[in-house]
Amino acid sequence: MYPNQLIGKPAIRKEPVIITIEENMEFDGRTMNYKRQTPDYSYTRYPIVIIAATDAHILYLSFDEVLMGKNPIPSILNKFYVDDGWYDYSDLIDLATRFPQMAELMKGELK
């Protein structure tokens, strides 16, 4: 699902995001350009609550901060994460019984 379909719901990624980084390297007076691809598994491990989403950004609350009893601070993901690689986490697990802190947060702040 796309992030704009998951606003107000807990979401988790199905697969990692592959981030391509272009770098220049100088060797023996020659400059070589190369691309490096690194997978980011960050959002495949713990769910997040998507507050807002556009074509270029996702505003979310971190699930692990809620579990640790902290006040979650909204964070932003960039355009690499705006794709159909998200899944509705509430379809996988009943949050009200397993994580009562998240259920209270969703009732209070996301109305």
> What pLDDT does 90 receive?
80
Beta bridge pairs of residue 22: 35
> What pLDDT does 63 receive?
76
Q: What is the pTM of this model?
A: 0.70
> What pLDDT does 34 receive?
83
CA dihedral defined by 95, 97, 102, 103, rounded to 10 degrees? 90
Beta bridge pairs of residue 26: 31
Dig out the tokens for 86 from the structure. 């998200």
List the chain pLDDT tens, one digit each, 111 residues.
Answer: 899 999 988 899 999 999 888 888 887 888 888 888 989 898 888 889 899 999 999 999 987 776 677 788 899 999 989 999 999 888 777 656 666 666 666 665 544
> What pLDDT does 66 receive?
67
> What pLDDT does 68 receive?
74
Instruction: Report residue 84: phi and psi, to 5°.
Output: -95, 25
